Amino acid sequence: MGGFRVSDEYVEQHPEADVSATELVINVMYAAELLGREADQVFRPFGLSRGSHNVLQILGGAREPLRPSEVTARLTVTTATVTGLLDTLEARGLCRRRRHPTDRRSVLVEITHDGRELLDELVPQLIEHEKRWAAGLRPPEREQLIRLLGALQDHLRSPDENVPTRGLASTPSAG
């Protein structure tokens, strides 16, 4: 309990290290990996990856069709990754691309009826898992962790990234 701690040997070998910074990074990355593995188990029966789930959630939560660049802006992945995810979702009939009505150079992407049905089946199961995953923390601790992780994300995000904090998928994106 209490997370991973660096050894005394590590401190001796690396006196320039900021032990709390090293321990923070190790623990955040380890927690993300554990949650990612758990999420994979929920998504696998639906034929989704974390990335395709995130894209489907973004499309499902949009009030109108989105440009692929708008989907990319809400994820921490490259345009090429989003293109691949959209290709896979479209091949499965879960989303569709169509020409933009006023910009011939652009396309719009929207969720399909089948995509909505898949989310309608998946999301209640995911919510139950999320409750179990978060059960180790009381609600005030969760709020504190969310605020702290948000501060870390703000610090790490490049100045040109304009990522909304609402409307993202409910699990970490992984591409």
Instruction: Give the pLDDT confidence of 83-134 residue by residue, as tens digits.
Output: 999 999 999 999 999 999 998 899 999 999 999 999 999 999 999 999 999 9
CA distance 7 to 144: 27
CA distance 106 to 83: 13
Confidence of residue 2 (pLDDT cuts 50, 70, 90): confident
Give residue 76's pLDDT. Answer: 77
Confidence of residue 160 (pLDDT cuts 50, 70, 90): low
Confidence of residue 170 (pLDDT cuts 50, 70, 90): very low
**Is the pLDDT at 173 greater than 60, yes or no?**
no
**Is the pLDDT at 35 greater than 60, yes or no?**
yes
What are the tens digits of pLDDT across the range 80-92?
999 999 999 999 9
Q: Is 50-156 assigned to CATH 1.10.10.10?
A: yes
Q: Which helix (H) or strand (E) holds 41?
A: helix 19-43
CA distance 71 to 145: 26
